Amino acid sequence: MVNITYDACKISSPAGSIIYTDDSGTQTIYQNGDIAWTLAGTALVFIMIPGLGYFYSGLLRRKNALSMIYMSVMTIAVVSFQWFFWGYSLAFSETGSAYIGNLKYFGMKGVAAAPSIGSARIPALVFAVYQLMFAAITPMLALGAVSERGRLGPCIAFVFIWSTLVYDPIACWTWNSNGWSFVLGGLDFAGGSPVHISSGSAALAISIYLGKRRGYGTERLAYKPHNTSYVILGTVLLWFGWFGFNGGSALSANLRAAMACVVTNLAASVGGLTWMLWDYRIERKWSAVGFCSGAIAGLVAITPGSGFVGAPAAVLFGVMAGTICNFATQLKFVFGYDDTLDIFASHAVGGVVGNVLTGLFAQASVAGFDGITIIPGGWLDHHYIQLGYQLADSVAALSYSFVMTTIILWLMHFIPFLRMRGSEDAEIVGLDEYDMGEFAYDYVGLEQEIGHDIETKMSEGMTTGGREPHHEHHHNVDENSLEKGLGSPA
Amino acid sequence: MVNITYDASGSIVWQDPDTGKIFVYNPGDIAWTLASTALVFIMIPGLGYFYSGLLRRKNALSMIYLSVMTIAVVSFQWFFWGFSLTFSETGSAFIGDLRYFGLKGVLEKPSIGSARIPSIVFCIYQLMFAAITPMLAIGGFADRAHLGPLLAFVFAWSTLVYDPIACWTWNSNGWSFAHGSYDFAGGTPVHISSGSAALAISIYLGKRRGYGTEALAYKPHNTTFVVLGTVFLWFGWFGFNGKRTSFLGPELALNITGTKGGSALSANLRAAQASIVTNLAASVGGLTWMLWDYRIERKWSAVGFCSGAIAGLVAITPGSGFVGSPAAVLFGFMAGTICNFATQLKFVFGYDDSLDVFASHAIGGIVGNILTALFAQASVAGFDGFTVIPGGWLDRHWIQLAWHVADSCAGVSYSFTMTTIILWIMHYIPGLRIRVPEGVEIIGIDESDMGEFAYDYVAMEPELKGVSYVSSVVRRESDPESLMKERHSSASGSNH
């Protein structure tokens, strides 16, 4: 039996608060409301992950639609196991180093009623399951970069390894009270560095390692989301869950959580409108995909600052993210990498924008909304060195994630069945057919993919999943008529 | 540092420096309110999918987009002045003031809705109500409105229609609140106002091209979207109705020692009861409407079920904290019946309310208001342990019906009139005119205003079939007169 009791009904206190007594006799009281909000936050962050899957899926071509949705739930599964196995311990053990935890909580042994390292207002077990969802969403953010040209089998191993070697250390630096960034005084409420900068950098590393998709630069790959309603559905699930992501990071149902919800919603709204307005000038159209991208950029930027900034600052976070991330999508053309889903632009650049703005606009008064937290604040509090801490944080996460992800990918490259790059034929046929044997829909037209000028290399032993292995394609297809979706291939 | 402390059990304690009064905030109340905030949030895209599924494929994306656009615009408007205009304690009986402009000062003081939660929690929760209401009205724009001007419309309408009506109903200075109307979660501010606005919009915009012909016969392009949207709405409605329990009626004394009726946990009985009646009304409403439709074609209509569920949810909204479970069954049955037949009003009166927003929300809201007056019970309101009301007809408090009728009439007329005024003012400002020309209606809002479709395959041939002049129509979209001349002289004889 865990060593807790319940207090008696007292005037001006709720009956049934949990009282935990540790070995030395010190008592900690846990408010049920705090636990309730954190557990609700757990479910909210959970649903962001399939939301990501739908968001990414809608932006790709139909033949790869299912792979992204599948990867989101696969990631939840792999990280849930990894977190239980050693992930929580490596990130949040109180007895580790400044860079990584230890295996004290291997298999979640001993994680129970003691106050968590994140906040003494909730027990460690609640904190562990809540943090699990953060650990689960981060690799999925990065995995968007394998879109259309990765191999799904090695992705499973990649998620496990990347979580252990990249996410857990960076989370430890940021949120573990021993972590060097935490000790230094970097302000990161809900994960600018561990979640967004790390995954954005990793996505860049993956994009560079995998190289460009087949047909890159041609009309075939011109920006063409196959299902914009999925893009919006994914954005909606992300935005919905973000109330738990930022609001729940208060680890308590208090004023700071409420303020985090306010600034989160405001940054998303303004970010969406800003990006959409920037896109309006190009074609005089109101772009839903632009709105969604901007909303997500705003959410990314406000993430580190959500427990530190006021509502007017949140408006600026939205404007800056919606603007800078919009233009950052052009970086891939400048530097020549194929970041299909603009993850580096939204998450790495967005995370850096958020970290920097947090350094400027963090206020001790807002952090103190929980009645407990005391910080020196940011530039508004004349604490100018804060920007330095934020930059240190950002640069460390950017570089560590990029380098370590590249190392992981190349190690996997030389292990026979773990190579991440899909073959050209896999790209032609699509990941859904090639790796999954299932499609997202009952109609996925492949004729226009297969029957055109670039010859299918049958001689390299390609199989089409056992279907018609000697089928030859004689289609003389009019590319233009197919692009418009009119008529049928000859 | 905000001036709060924690008591021995961990509840937040704030002392008013002017009066010395002590307020205790229970984290459980705050947790449920924040969770409900997220729940109401997701109702808004749910609405977008619901509306989208009922329209044609070429306009599918616009409705979904409008739902997230509305969240964004109202979130900014609420921060800017919306919360202040609605909920400032120092305003008039009709509208607040700008005391909380930019949410300045909105933090730890007890909210005007309930002394059990701080005002910042109340603010973010109420924001979601403010955000969903214009989206309900936007259903009236279906198929024939330019998207750019709607950004301005949402901002203006929220400020001039929603904020005042919400003030009357929920601000303790509001005239409707003061005379004792029971509107638990927004029959008037949310449903009646938006339904009436949708009617005004439908009348202003006129009928869609092809109205009355086979081309526009009721034909939802994606019924799974309709169900998905209904599901998000029903899911979120637990937060919409279920949360309001903490909001106290005018008779509430700020009794913060919580000794009435035992521990604070008993206050949540009202939230639980609200959840029960909400779910029951939705269920019975859905089955009722679907059964009424069954008699027509001997088919089980999913769209009928969804419409009925939503009608039931709309009707139970004002009464959810006041009525018992048996009454909720009646709410569902009445809403499922009356709103079903109310969809015929548009044929009787000749307006094109494509999505039946007036039938579901305005009529549904009125049905709910009236039934609340009949079936509200002081005993149910007292489930939170401190609310005291005279009750409705079941408690022999006959005048309650009059208050609710007054409330409903005020909501219908004010919203209809003000919405019409807003639309006509926008009509005369260049760039803000909403009505699209015929050519844009033909190719669809998604293509013309967004440059994106909801799907990668949106067949345009059925739309363009027989319309031989379409390319010239598109070029001439800014010149409707010449377009009409060309159409009459063309021999295409299309029925579009």
Mind listing the pLDDT tens digit for each residue in A87-102? 999 999 999 999 999 9
| Percentage above 70 pLDDT, chain B | 87
Is B266 a residue whose pLDDT tops 70? no
Interface of A with B in 391-420 (CB under 8 A): none
pLDDT for A445: 73
Do strands B12-15 and A18-21 pair parallel, antiparallel, or not at all (unpaired)?
A: unpaired
Q: Is B54 on the interface with A (CB under 8 A)?
A: no
> What is the model's pTM?
0.88
The Cα–Cα gap between B371 and B315 comes to 8
Question: Cβ(B368)–Cβ(B310) under 8 Å?
Answer: no
Question: Residue A251 corresponds to which tokens in the numbers above?
Answer: 């680890």
> Counting every residue, how long is chain A?
490
> What phi and psi values does residue A346 have, to the nearest 5 degrees?
-80, -45
**DSSP structure string for A160-189:** HHHIIIIIHHHHHHHHSTTSHHHHHT---S
pLDDT for B243: 66
pLDDT for A75: 97
Among A224, A229, A276, pick the best mutation site for testing chain B contact (most B Cβ within 10 A).
Answer: A229
First to last CA, chain B: 65
Highest mean pLDDT, choosing among A470-479, B182-191, B300-309, B442-451: B300-309
pLDDT for B494: 39
Is B473 a residue whose pLDDT tops 70? no
The C-alpha R_g of chain A, in whole angstroms, comes to 24
Tell me, what's the ipTM?
0.85
Closest chain B CA to residue A373: B1
pLDDT for B249: 32
The Cα–Cα gap between A101 and A88 comes to 9
pLDDT tens per residue, range A262-279: 999 999 999 999 999 999
Neighbours of A283 (CB within 10 A): 10
The Cα–Cα gap between B199 and A19 comes to 57
The Cα–Cα gap between A243 and A226 comes to 28
Is B360 a residue whose pLDDT tops 80? yes
Choose among B29, B79, B449: nearest Cβ to A33.
B29
Category of A437 on φ-ψ map: left (φ > 0), alpha (ψ -120 to 50) or beta: left
pLDDT tens per residue, range A143-185: 999 998 999 999 999 999 999 999 999 999 999 999 999 999 9
User: CB–CB of A365 and B4 under 8 A?
Assistant: no
Is B460 a residue whose pLDDT tops 80? no
Lowest mean pLDDT among A303-312, A353-362, B436-445: B436-445
Closest chain B CA to residue A286: B450
Question: Residue A490 corresponds to which tokens in the numbers above?
Answer: 């000859």
Is A15 a residue whose pLDDT tops 70? no
Give the number of C-alpha atoms closer than 13 A to the C-alpha of residue B408, restricted to the C-beta side: 22
Give the number of C-alpha atoms closer than 13 A to the C-alpha of residue B394, restricted to the C-beta side: 19
Average pLDDT, chain A: 88
Closest chain B CA to residue A34: B27
Question: Cβ(A262)–Cβ(B124) under 8 Å?
Answer: yes
Neighbours of A15 (CB within 10 A): 15
Q: For residue A12, which residues of chain B lie inside 8 Å, CB to CB? A: 7, 11, 13, 24, 256-258
The three-point CA angle B386-B391-B393 to 5° equals 165
Q: Is A26 on the interface with B (CB under 8 A)?
A: no
Average pLDDT, chain B: 86
Is A468 a residue whose pLDDT tops 60? no
Choose among A37, A272, A371: nearest Cβ to B2.
A371
Is B315 a residue whose pLDDT tops 90? yes
Is A480 a residue whose pLDDT tops 60? no
Q: Which residue has the higher pLDDT, A6 or B474?
A: A6
Q: Residue holding tokens 């306010």?
A: A262
pLDDT for A130: 97
First to last CA, chain A: 72
Question: Cβ(A110)–Cβ(A104) under 8 Å?
Answer: yes
pLDDT band at B475 (very low <50, low <70, confident <90, very high): very low
pLDDT for B38: 95
Q: At what angle are helices A255-283 and B119-138 packed, to 10 degrees?
A: 30
Interface of B with A in 442-471 (CB under 8 A): 449-459, 461
pLDDT for A10: 47
pLDDT for B466: 54
Q: Is A294 on the interface with B (CB under 8 A)?
A: no
Closest alpha carbon to B53 in B341, B317, B311, B307: B307
* For range B284-294, the mean pLDDT: 96
pLDDT for B492: 42
C-alpha distances (whole Å) from A132 to each of A55, A75, A86, A343, B220 are 21, 12, 12, 22, 41
Highest mean pLDDT, choosing among B163-167, B261-265, B390-394: B163-167
* For range B170-180, the mean pLDDT: 90
pLDDT band at B242 (very low <50, low <70, confident <90, very high): confident
**DSSP structure string for B38-50:** HHHHHHHHHHHHH
pLDDT for B329: 96
pLDDT band at B464 (very low <50, low <70, confident <90, very high): low
The Cα–Cα gap between A114 and B488 comes to 80
User: CB–CB of B34 and A243 under 8 A?
Assistant: yes
Q: Is B226 on the interface with A (CB under 8 A)?
A: no
Neighbours of A388 (CB within 10 A): 13
Give the largest CA-CA distance in chain A. Answer: 84
User: CB–CB of B103 and A311 under 8 A?
Assistant: yes
Interface of A with B in 325-384 (CB under 8 A): 364-365, 368-369, 371, 374
pLDDT band at B180 (very low <50, low <70, confident <90, very high): confident
> Counting every residue, how long is chain B?
496
**DSSP structure string for B302-353:** HHHHHHHHHHHHHHHHHHTTT--HHHHHHHHHHHHHHHHHHTTHHHHHT---
Give the number of C-alpha atoms closer than 13 A to the C-alpha of residue B20, restricted to the C-beta side: 0
User: CB–CB of A239 and B73 under 8 A?
Assistant: no
Is A198 a residue whose pLDDT tops 90? yes
Burial class of B145 by CB neighbour count within 10 A (0 to 12, 13 to 18, 19+): buried
Highest mean pLDDT, choosing among A23-37, A44-58, B216-230, B468-482: A44-58
Lowest mean pLDDT among A157-166, A236-245, B381-390, B430-439: B381-390
Question: Cβ(B220)–Cβ(B303) under 8 Å?
Answer: yes
Choose among B9, B38, B458: nearest Cβ to A240.
B38
Neighbours of B253 (CB within 10 A): 10
In the three-class reduction of DSSP (H, G, I as helix; E, B as strand; rest coil), residue A225 is classed as: coil
pLDDT band at B11 (very low <50, low <70, confident <90, very high): confident
User: CB–CB of B28 and A253 under 8 A?
Assistant: yes
Lowest mean pLDDT among A371-385, B26-40, B260-274, B480-494: B480-494
The Cα–Cα gap between A314 and A219 comes to 39
Choose among B1, B148, B451: nearest Cβ to A368.
B1
In the three-class reduction of DSSP (H, G, I as helix; E, B as strand; rest coil), residue B209 is classed as: coil
User: CB–CB of A229 and B45 under 8 A?
Assistant: no
Choose among A31, A62, A268: nearest Cβ to B10.
A31
Question: Residue A260 corresponds to which tokens in the numbers above?
Answer: 């985090």
pLDDT for A14: 53
Do strands A18-21 and B4-6 pair parallel, antiparallel, or not at all (unpaired)?
A: unpaired
Neighbours of A430 (CB within 10 A): 25
Closest alpha carbon to A143 in A132, A152, A135, A130: A152
Closest alpha carbon to B438 in B210, B270, B241: B210
pLDDT for B5: 87
Q: At what angle are helices B325-342 and B302-319 packed, to 10 degrees?
A: 130
Question: Cβ(A44)–Cβ(B37) under 8 Å?
Answer: no
Is B41 a residue whose pLDDT tops 90? yes
Q: Is A296 on the interface with B (CB under 8 A)?
A: no
The Cα–Cα gap between A325 and A321 comes to 6
pLDDT for B465: 62
| Percentage above 90 pLDDT, chain B | 65
User: CB–CB of A253 and B76 under 8 A?
Assistant: no
Interface of B with A in 104-133 (CB under 8 A): 107-108, 118, 120-121, 123-124, 127
The three-point CA angle A472-A478-A479 to 5° equals 95
| Percentage above 90 pLDDT, chain A | 74
pLDDT for B467: 54
The Cα–Cα gap between A224 and B41 comes to 29
Question: Cβ(A254)–Cβ(A370) under 8 Å?
Answer: yes
In sequence order, what are the residues at sequence separation of 6 or more whose Cβ sits closer than 8 angstroms to the Cβ of residue B343? B356, B359
The Cα–Cα gap between B73 and B364 comes to 27
Interface of B with A in 83-102 (CB under 8 A): 102
pLDDT tens per residue, range B364-375: 999 999 999 999
Instruction: Sheet containing B22-25: give its strands across.
Output: B4-6, B12-15, B22-25
Is A8 a residue whose pLDDT tops 90? no
In sequence order, what are the residues at sequence separation of 6 or more whose Cβ sits closer than 8 angstroms to the Cβ of residue B185? B240, B241, B244, B274, B317, B318, B320, B321
pLDDT tens per residue, range A297-322: 999 999 999 999 999 999 999 999 99
User: CB–CB of A368 and B73 under 8 A?
Assistant: no
pLDDT for B455: 87
pLDDT for B457: 79
Q: Is B478 on the interface with A (CB under 8 A)?
A: no
Is B491 a residue whose pLDDT tops 70? no
pLDDT tens per residue, range A123-139: 999 999 999 999 999 99
pLDDT tens per residue, range A138-151: 999 999 999 989 99
The three-point CA angle B397-B400-B402 to 5° equals 130
Q: For residue A227, which residues of chain B lie inside 8 Å, CB to CB? A: 454-456
pLDDT band at A260 (very low <50, low <70, confident <90, very high): very high
Choose among B26, B37, B118: nearest Cβ to A14.
B26
The Cα–Cα gap between B12 and B9 comes to 9
Q: Residue holding tokens 């656009």?
A: B69
Interface of A with B in 54-93 (CB under 8 A): 62
Give the largest CA-CA distance in chain B. Answer: 84
Question: In the 8-state DSSP scheme, what is residue B5?
Answer: E
pLDDT for A43: 96
Question: Cβ(A418)–Cβ(A154) under 8 Å?
Answer: yes
pLDDT band at B351 (very low <50, low <70, confident <90, very high): very high
User: CB–CB of B127 and A265 under 8 A?
Assistant: yes
**DSSP structure string for B387-430:** ------GGGT-TTHHHHHHHHHHHHHHHHHHHHHHHHHHHHTST
Closest alpha carbon to A38 in A187, A188, A246: A246
Question: Residue A284 corresponds to which tokens in the numbers above?
Answer: 């005089």
